[in-house]
Amino acid sequence: MKVSDLGERRLLERIRARLPKPPGHVVVGIGDDAAVVEVARNTRVVVTTDALVEGVHFDRAFSTPADIGHKALAVNLSDLAAMGATPVWALLSLALPDGTAVEDVEALVDGLVGLANANSVALVGGNLTSSHNQIVVDVTAGGTVHPRRVLLRDGGRAGDLLFTSGTIGAAAAGLEMIKAGLPPSPANEQCFSKYRRPDARVRLGRALSATRAARAAMDSSDGLADAVRQLAEASGCGAEIDASQLPIDDGARRWWVSQGVDPVDRSLVGGDDYELVIAVPPKWRGRLRQVTRRVSDPSLRCVGVLTRTANEYVVVRDGRRERLTGGFEHW
């Protein structure tokens, strides 16, 4: 059997089935944005890893080497943010074809280190290896979190309000614009930069953790619809999204309208947002106000609610209830 016969999720299930039961010091194992390990009494280390593969995650015609370095770290910091962790260190493993220009490698490292410095993250090591055709940028990142303040995916309950940070759809629209050869302009700049250099919501994740304002959290690396479904599924709930509340990026909306496609559908399934999606009980809204006082950018928008009906994911649009589809699987 080939991996393409199985798909990403079933392949992951098979891998999990081969592992022994995790020992007691593994607080959170496979299945969340990152793992949480108790390395010493009352000390939690949060670790995650994510690779960017040329031709799959990036194209050197669409992103500069510095953009690629930035994004390779950002996607990892985003997973740490979704756990409420403070990032501390990162490892960088590079697979490079023979003909890779040294200046490109230096620019990639500079892009990564720029974001690392901005977040007080130290690049502490890594690995270099040759590859046949494609560049692979593999980053592992670690951080710390207060033992009782870890943000998990599975903590949501029916009735919790669903919020997303920032806007949705910009990165997906940005990639389409870049592919279409659209020149950068003030109107679409946000879309270009969200695709090439996503921000990780590290400060927001820390504030959510410190105030205990969220009962569940994950990042929307594969789009809002995917994050809502995964958070709801892990929490044993269904979810209902209100299409009229979606914070669709203005430039993305204009682009999709100009292309004759539906901005709501596209922004829900579009990946690479790296926003935080959280579940908040209505009575915790006071705690959420503490969060927005600490971190005003990005803003938080209530886009829906967790429901009692497990596995039912709905988007309500002009009074109609439609099935919420979306999510990305490799193979």
Residues that bind Mg ion (CB under 5 A): 33, 79, 219, 221
- Tokens 């003909």 found at: 99
* CA–CA separation, 87 and 92 (whole Å): 15
Give least dist CB 221 to Mg ion, A.
5
Q: Which is nearer to Mg ion, 119 or 188 (CB)?
A: 119
* CA–CA separation, 33 and 151 (whole Å): 10
Give least dist CB 28 to Mg ion, A.
13
Give least dist CB 29 to Mg ion, A.
15
* Chain mean position to CA 57: 14
Give least dist CB 78 to Mg ion, A.
6
Q: Which is nearer to Mg ion, 49 or 290 (CB)?
A: 49
14 SS3 class: helix
- CA distances (Å), origin 75, targets 48, 152, 171, 182: 10, 18, 13, 25
Locate 257 and state its tokens: 């309208």
Q: Which is nearer to Mg ion, 29 or 159 (CB)?
A: 29
Q: Which is nearer to Mg ion, 79 or 176 (CB)?
A: 79
* CA–CA separation, 243 and 251 (whole Å): 18
Q: Which is nearer to Mg ion, 140 or 221 (CB)?
A: 221
CA angle, 164 then 170 then 173, to 5°: 140
> Alpha helix (H) ranges present in the chain?
3-6, 8-17, 65-81, 102-118, 170-179, 189-196, 202-211, 224-234, 250-258, 263-269, 285-294
| Cα atoms in the Cβ-side hemisphere of radius 13 Å centred on 231 | 40
Give least dist CB 164 to Mg ion, A.
14
Nearest to 233 by CA among 155, 330, 118, 328: 155
Give least dist CB 19 to Mg ion, A.
20
CA angle, 63 then 51 then 190, to 5°: 35
Q: Which is nearer to Mg ion, 109 or 228 (CB)?
A: 228
- CA distances (Å), origin 69, targets 105, 171, 199, 204, 275: 9, 17, 13, 22, 19
Q: Which is nearer to Mg ion, 67 or 273 (CB)?
A: 273
Q: Which is nearer to Mg ion, 65 or 219 (CB)?
A: 219
Give least dist CB 218 to Mg ion, A.
6
Give least dist CB 214 to Mg ion, A.
15
